[in-house]
Amino acid sequence: MGLATGSKAISGDTFTSNNRTVQIMGIRCPAPETEDGLAAQRIANTYLNGKNVGCAISRTGDGSLIGDCKLRGNNGRTLSEVLLATGLCWSTNDAEI
């Protein structure tokens, strides 16, 4: 799991990391052009800019990147868990990384 340094949310369920676009595994959020989507994007950016955040990223069969991020230590919640808890995003029931 690599550090999320320089990662930025481009929507509630998508972020960039090292110039790569990553879909957050297992969730979907409204488009950032909507009020709820913008709120989800802001929450994701706040999370990604926190200290001690690490991200696990993998490549799917079609070449796209999926992943999730987690606060290190103290059994922190993943970014997907935080976004689901807000009620702004919903689960897609994808398998975990």
Determine the Cα–Cα distance for residues 5 and 83; give it in Å rounded to an integer: 20
CB 79, CB 66: distance < 8 Å:
no
Determine the Cα–Cα distance for residues 40 and 22; give it in Å rounded to an integer: 16
Determine the Cα–Cα distance for residues 68 and 57; give it in Å rounded to an integer: 7
45 pLDDT exceeds 50?
yes
Determine the Cα–Cα distance for residues 83 and 66; give it in Å rounded to an integer: 16
Q: Which tens digits make up the pLDDT trace of 52-82?
A: 788 899 999 999 999 999 887 656 789 999 9
pLDDT score, position 72: 77
Q: What is the mean pLDDT of residues 26-34?
A: 96
- Residue 92 has φ and ψ, to the nearest 5°, of -105, 0
Q: CATH classification of 2-91 is 3.55.40.20, yes or no?
A: no
